[in-house]
Amino acid sequence: MSLVTLSDVLQPALHNGYAVAGLVTLGWEDMHAYVAAAEAEDVPIILQAGPSCREHTPLPVLGKMFRHLADGASVPVVAHLDHGYTHEECHIAIDSGFTSVMFDGSRKSLAQNIDETAAIADMAHAAGVSCEGEIGFVGYSGGEGSDGTDPDDAAQFARKTGVDAMAISVGNVHLQQNKEGGLDEIRIRAIEAVTEVPLVIHGGSGVPVAQRSALAHGSKICKFNIGTELRMAFGQALRRAVNTDPERFDRVLILKDTHEPVVDATRRVLKAFKGA
């Protein structure tokens, strides 16, 4: 199955009542496990390179890794830049073979966010690549607070930028380790009433699984980003692998022990979003 764009997987999700998982990668071991889980569940997948991933591995290398996995996968795979903050960063991702870029202008004024996102969407579309934008700021657990998305701003943002997907702030928080919160469904309904653009939830790990599933099948939310939940599964598996044999030092052997636990955790995530 060849690499596909974000629109290639989100438009069918929008029209057929399901969602696709945007899985935040940190290295080869987790992205390899994510693809294996998607194949086991027979669903498309979005591999995402966020800021911390890019600090560890350069974008051109990540592009080749994503494309290599996609070339051998039996399901559609999207190579997605998550939280690109500059025009240059998005340009490098496109040149590196990414099929989707997310420009995050959510800290900027509405006018500036629209102008900069529209320019990046134009650049992406000219290259045959999808573009995701963000309106309203999604905060961080223990850090910056959120600024919820105004439905009127969302309508204007979607219309003027031409984005293929729109990330919104509706009670979701990045890096949340528990699922005690929940999304503001009244605000979600108000936003989806004024746009036909597929909606995206960042910080999906903090959303209760039952609500994830209900919204995946009954709203215009077509993409949930999941990172923290799977990082925790990887970290726990790695800790067990290290502690099982204190004499073992070969990291390749140690890291192999993380594969099945991460595949299992990822499959549980993907099941909540699947279509009929």
Residues 6+ apart with CB under 8 A from 68: none
Backbone φ and ψ of 44, nearest 5°? -70, 165
The DSSP result for 167-205, as a single string, is EE-SS--BT--S------HHHHHHHHTT--SPEEES-GG
Residue 47 tokens read as 């591999």
Q: Report the amino acid identity of residue 76.
A: P
- The C-alpha torsion from 166 through 197 and 21 to 66, rounded to 10°, is -80
| 115 is annotated as an active-site residue | no
Residues 6+ apart with CB under 8 A from 129: 5, 94, 98, 99, 100, 101
Burial of 270 (0-12, 13-18, 19+ CB in 10 A): buried
Q: Which of 30, 82, 150, 164 is catalytic?
A: 82
Residues marked as catalytic: 82
